[in-house]
Structure formats: structure tokens, C-alpha cells
Amino acid sequence: MEVPSKRLLRLHNFTLRQLQYAVAVSETLSFRAAAKLLNVSQPSLSAQLKELEEGLGVRLFERDRRGVMLTAQGAPLIKRAQATLREAMDLEEDAQRQKDPLNGTLTFGVIPTISPYLLPAITPALRTRCNKLAVRWVEDKTENLILQLEAGALDAALLALEADLGLVDHATVFIDPFVLCTPKGHRLAKGKGAMALDELAGNELLLLEEGHCFRSQTLEICSASDVTEHEFRATSLSTLVQMVGAGAGVTLLPTIAVAVETARAEVATRNLKDARARRTLVLAFRRRSSIAEALRTLAEVMSTAAREAFGTQVARRASR
């Protein structure tokens, strides 16, 4: 067990409440307005600020007929006071969240090949099932989200399990099969039933730019199909599909993106036989996370919403 620093255990010459008084005065530049804001009497506020200045040994404010102003020595200390109050507020919020993790705000990451399609499906369910919870979403590539997750900047992230997620725990949300996306009238679009990946031989394959895990997975499952990678690199699935519609080549598309992206492009889709042509969408979180059980509950809510939104598409494709 780590022995606490003696400096941290010593008694302080001021209180958090006194720091609040000082910050309020610095923001309003008025003792009267600060007292009203804090719902205290002006004499009480003045007395507490005097104690704070004596405890710190520094004069924070100057008062004259023109009003109140921060002293040169007081300005940096007020900034430190603001930071201290933010830390105290975070401590209270964290303690509250430990009692009820679904009452407050959680910050989740999500990759760009998931967010435009899955978030509209799961957000209403989260709002209904967890009405005390606010979710803040951060969109980025897998590698960056994992770094933020490990650093504690994120509580969890919606990712594809097939990517390199490092040492994280996870709960499965949805199995997302891939389909082939071709221009309308393409020879591969005319085939019957699901097709084998080796039928892609001789085609140019359009892919996302480097850094997208969907690009890496597509390359891996198509590596034995004798395809040529198109020199163009798309920044989004939308661009990929539009390029396919323009006749630049073919690509693979996750099922959750099919309805949105094919509605505005001259393309056709076809099922794939290869069992590897799919990804597992998961809610990833740190091992030993103190809110792991709450995150698993949220993953179940997301999973139900995803199945309701996309499950019929998967079932319909599987039956062909």
C-alpha cells in the first residue's frame, strides 16, 4: 500500500468554500454580485475572503470607489483555485457515478464506419432505457480511441473486435456481415445467391484510407482473391459507395451501412459466402473498470436496438 505524502495530509489554511467566494468575486468583479450569486450576505463573504487572504499570505483583490480588481499576485492563484474547484466537482461526480453509473455523463468513443449508422439506432433506446444518463460521443479511428480509453479520457468505445484492441474488456453489441457493393449492371451483381470471394478476381477494389480498421479487415479477407487495389483512398464509406456507383471499382460494405449508402448511389449489393466477411461490433472498456457492469448493461441495450434496426436485414440476406 502506498504511503500518502505528508504534504497532502497537512491541514490547509483555507476551505473550498472560500475558494468559491474568491472565484465568484473574480468573475463578477463585485462583492455584492458575488454574494448574491452565492446566496450569502456581503459581510460574510468579505469576512471569508479576508480569512482566505490571511491564510494564503497574499492579497487577492483591490477595492476602491471604481470597483474591484484582481491583484497581480492574485490572478494566477485564482486560476489555481478554479482548477481546484473543478477537481473537487469531478471528485463528487465520480463518487456519485460509482453509486449509480447510469446517472450522469459517460464519454464514449466510436469509429467513423459505425457512428453514422448505429448511433441513430441506439440513441433513442439509450435515452428511453437510461433516461438519467447523458452520453458524449467522440468519433475517431480505432488506434486513437484505444489510446484515449487507456488514458482514461473515454469510459468505453464502440469498435470492431477484429481490430487490434490491446488489453481491453468488451461486450458484444452486434454481428455485422459484409456485402459486396458493385455498380448496377456489373457482372457480379447478376449472379444468384451469395458469392465466394474468389469471384472478385480481376476487379479493382476500392478501400478506405490508411488507419481505418475496416480497410485492414477488407484487405485481409480479400488477399487471396487476386484483386487489384484501386489507387484512390476514401475518407468515408459514403465516398467509397459513390465511387463504386461511378464505375471506379467494387468494394465491401458493412450491413449497417447498406440502407443509408445505397439509397443515394447507382449500386447493387450481393451477399458473401465467406464466414470471415463480417465484423463483431463491441463496446470496449478498460479491464477492471469500476463501472464494468453498468457498461455491460448499456451494451445489452445497444444490442437490442441494433437487432431491431438491422437484424431483419441480416436475416433476409442470410435466407437468400
Q: Which amino acid is at 277?
A: A
Q: Are residues 135 and 221 in the same domain?
A: yes
**Predicted pLDDT at 290:** 83
Domain residues for 110? 101-320
Q: Are residues 16 and 151 in the same domain?
A: no
Instruction: Report yes or no: 63 and 30 within 8 Å, Cβ to Cβ.
Output: no
Question: What pLDDT, in 10s, does the model give residues 150-177?
Answer: 888 999 999 999 988 888 999 999 999 9
Provide the pLDDT confidence category of residue 45 given band limits of 50, 70 and 90: very high
Q: Are residues 272 and 307 in the same domain?
A: yes
In terms of Cβ atoms closer than 10 Å to its own Cβ (0-12, 13-18, 19+), residue 312 is: exposed
Instruction: Report yes or no: 29 and 38 within 8 Å, Cβ to Cβ.
Output: no
Which of 249, 218, 212 lies closest to 231, judged by CA?
249
Mean pLDDT of 268-286: 94
Q: Which residue has the higher pLDDT, 100 or 57?
A: 57
Percentage of the residues of the chain whose pLDDT score is greater than 70: 94
The last residue of one of the domains, among 35, 65, 99, is 99
Q: Are residues 89 and 159 in the same domain?
A: no
Residue 1 resides in a domain: no
List, in order, residues 6 or more apart from 233 with CB less than 8 Å away.
207, 208, 209, 210
DSSP for 48-105 reads HHHHHHHHHTS--EEEETTEEEE-TTHHHHHHHHHHHHHHHHHHHHHHHHHH-TTSEE
Residue 88 resides in a domain: yes
CATH number of the domain where residue 28 is located: 1.10.10.10
Q: Are residues 118 and 212 in the same domain?
A: yes
Residue 221 resides in a domain: yes
Residue 209 resides in a domain: yes
The count of structural domains within the chain is 2
Provide the pLDDT confidence category of residue 251 given band limits of 50, 70 and 90: very high
**Predicted pLDDT at 289:** 87
Question: What pLDDT, in 10s, does the model give residues 100-124?
Answer: 778 888 999 999 999 999 999 999 9
Q: Are residues 213 and 139 in the same domain?
A: yes
Q: Are residues 251 and 175 in the same domain?
A: yes
**pTM score, whole prediction:** 0.70
The last residue of one of the domains, among 51, 77, 99, is 99
